[in-house]
Structure 1
Amino acid sequence: MFSTQIRDVDDFNPRRRRTLWNTPAASMLTTTTTHTIRYPTSRKGHANAHQLSAKFEDLYGFMVEGNVDDVNVLNDVREKIREQGRVWWAVEASKGANWYLQPRISSNGGEGVISVTSLKLSVLTNTITLRRLIRKGVPPVLRPKVWLSVSGAAKKRSTVPETYYDELIRATEGKTTPATLQIDHDLPRTFPCHPWLNSEDGQASLRRVLVGYSFRDSEVGYCQGLNYVAALLLLVMKTEEDAFWMLAVLLENVLVNDCYTDNLSGCHVEQRVFKDLLAKKCPRIAAHLEAMGFDVSLVATEWFLCLFSKTLPSETTLRVWDVLFNEGAKVLFHVALAIFKVCVHS
């Protein structure tokens, strides 16, 4: 289906407090040919079209390659993202710029929760509207601001001095721990086909985020899987500091506790819950896997630790993360169930 290809680029900037790297401005996908085309679906044309292949670079710098069906699907996805963007702009025109930064009822618990006695109709309306829009996808250009707001990362960052991240990075320079050694080992293996993440600047940025968090939370330190999560956060958020705070709120507020500690106790709990959920929601699939002696956790563990970043195309993963940051870890179970259902019916 999809495979990644390395492409040389020259538009990356390693400076931490500015944009880390620039993305195509026009659309989510850019075809390597001169035109985006819709391939024929008639029998004769379909047979010829299946012999063709096309390469695309998505908005986040990953090169994907697929057959005619993949190309047509990606074209449809691109158009739906454009349509959803127009919906967001229309809401901004009616509610005002940055309306989603206003107080609301939190779906994610904790941050921003408003009591029923102080609830205003406008707050309820904004909460319902925002949840509906997020479920349909956040426009890529708005993702950094929306994620920081709905996840609680912006509020978490506001509780510490503005220089917190820079001081943390300076304090960790030159220090060696078991976590830093493992991070250095994993850096070259993190999306090696992505041109910026495979560059010296990209790996240095990713290292600073991961090492910084390993010193912030010594109980977590570093766990394999976080490198992929942090790398994708860097590509979306564009600055190291924003990516760091998104990683912090993800591990400290959004996900199940102890998912990334030494014994992975939280992850083991997730796998038991998912196994029970699969048996309840998809009994035929669960029975078939059990008859084969197949342990679901063999594949699902990576899904939950990497938050699907190694499993799904980047834009699909980020659609999952849109809902994850707004509604919490339950979305991971829904997506995992959906993957099993799709694989069975495909």
Structure 2
Amino acid sequence: MFGTQSKRDLTLELQAQFPILRPSIHARRANLTVKFQDLYGFTVEGNVDDVNVLNEVREKVRQQGRVWWALEASKGANWYLQPQISSLSEGIVLKSSLKLAALANSITLKRLIRKGIPPVLRPKVWFSLSGAAKKKSTVPESYYNDLTKAVDGKVTPATRQIDHDLPRTFPGHPWLDTPEGHAALRRVLVGYSFRDSDVGYCQGLNYVAALLLLVMKTEEDAFWMLAVLLENVLVNDCYTNNLSGCHVEQRVFKDLLAKKCPRIAAHLEALEFDVSPRCDRVVLVPLF
């Protein structure tokens, strides 16, 4: 049928026309799935290439960490909080760098933060720069312990909802999804629900507080970080009953999108996709 051309020659010819007859090494590696825990105990799943990218990021974080440690060694452990001294004709004036505005104006600090804060320094740096340290300093040292003791055993709509949400907060996490983790998270959330009765507890706060616990390491620091986020950083009323603050945030985002990215805004509008939809208190988790 094929004349003098042998079956072997025909096979070789067909192989030449279709050179990719089996997955490449890259494709096979991409199909290899690996699982591991990240720094905060969450299980990460990805292929080999994802792991390689992650390793590159980790190396950059380590390099940036060396810059932080060099400053720690040369300027002191709290170099970004030290008062700045400047010589004037009247004498020496101490300029307090404890104010957040002054810290934000530090070129070195801003550059370092934008490149990444080393994980081991995040609790200290976050606590200082967020304003949580300043907020904590305005109350007695025993404030958090006294608060948690005072509200222990009290039952409110907020505490009932918190107890309902605890098992659903990052299920499977090696620490958060344990009796010890649940107890720590509950104390932070219940304590804040009594601190600010207008907010009380809103679903979504459990995830925010849980992440703060993982980063800050201690309940008290996580509590004050939660307090400064809700009271100073976020728009007012983000977590109150009518979520008016969230509606404001979403409307601002919609207007900003139309101003900065008009083509995307027009495309979403053509799809009848509203980027500032009506939100429900029980499911909203504002991003910050």
User: What residue number does 1:71 align with?
Assistant: 51
Bigger-Rg structure (1/2)? 2
Q: Is contact 2:238–2:286 with CA below 8 Å preserved after alignment?
A: no
Local SS of the residue matching 1:297: coil
Cα distance change, pair 236–227 in 1 and its aligned pair in 2 (3 A): same
Q: Is contact 1:192–1:198 with CA below 8 Å preserved after alignment?
A: yes
Local SS of the residue matching 1:86: helix
Local SS of the residue matching 2:36: strand
Q: Is contact 2:246–2:286 with CA below 8 Å preserved after alignment?
A: no
User: What residue number does 2:268 align with?
Assistant: 289
User: What residue number does 1:80 align with?
Assistant: 60
Q: For residues 225-270 of structure 1, give each alpha carbon's deviation from its aligned partner in whole angstroms, at most 9, with x where no partner exists.
A: 1110000000011110010011111111111111111110000000
Normalised TM-score (structure 1): 0.68
Q: Is contact 2:204–2:285 with CA below 8 Å preserved after alignment?
A: yes
User: What residue number does 1:277 align with?
Assistant: 256
User: What residue number does 1:46 align with?
Assistant: 26
Cα distance change, pair 127–204 in 1 and its aligned pair in 2 (3 A): same
Cα distance change, pair 65–298 in 1 and its aligned pair in 2 (3 A): farther
Q: What is the aligned residue count?
A: 255
Amino acid corresponding to residue 162 of structure 1 in structure 2 = E
Amino acid corresponding to residue 279 of structure 1 in structure 2 = A
Q: For residues 122-147 of structure 1, give each alpha carbon's deviation from its aligned partner in whole angstroms, at most 9, with x where no partner exists.
A: x89x8211111111111111111111
Cα distance change, pair 156–103 in 1 and its aligned pair in 2 (3 A): farther
What is the RMSD of the two structures over their aligned residues, measured on CA atoms? 2.7
Q: Distance in 2 between matches of 1:286 and 1:300?
A: 20
Q: Distance in 2 between matches of 1:71 and 1:113?
A: 39
Cα distance change, pair 97–251 in 1 and its aligned pair in 2 (3 A): same
1:165-314 aligned within 5 A? 165-297=144-276, 306=285, 308=287
Q: Is contact 2:100–2:130 with CA below 8 Å preserved after alignment?
A: no
User: What residue number does 1:60 align with?
Assistant: 40
CA-CA distance at 1:179 after TM superposition: 1.0
Structure 1: runs of 5+ lacking an equivalent? 1-42, 115-122, 309-331, 333-346
Normalised TM-score (structure 2): 0.81
Q: Distance in 1 between matches of 2:185 and 2:210?
A: 6
Question: Which runs of at least 4 in structure 1 moved beyond 6 Å after TM superposition?
Answer: 104-107, 299-302
User: What residue number does 1:153 align with?
Assistant: 132
Highest relative contact order (Cα 8 Å, sep 6+), 1 or 2? 1
Cα distance change, pair 198–275 in 1 and its aligned pair in 2 (3 A): same
Aligned-residue sequence identity (percent) comes to 76
Cα distance change, pair 207–75 in 1 and its aligned pair in 2 (3 A): same
Q: For residues 91-119 of structure 1, give each alpha carbon's deviation from its aligned partner in whole angstroms, at most 9, with x where no partner exists.
A: 22232221022248999xx94446xxxxx
User: What residue number does 1:134 align with?
Assistant: 113
Structure 2: runs of 5+ lacking an equivalent? 1-22, 85-94
CA-CA distance at 1:222 after TM superposition: 0.9
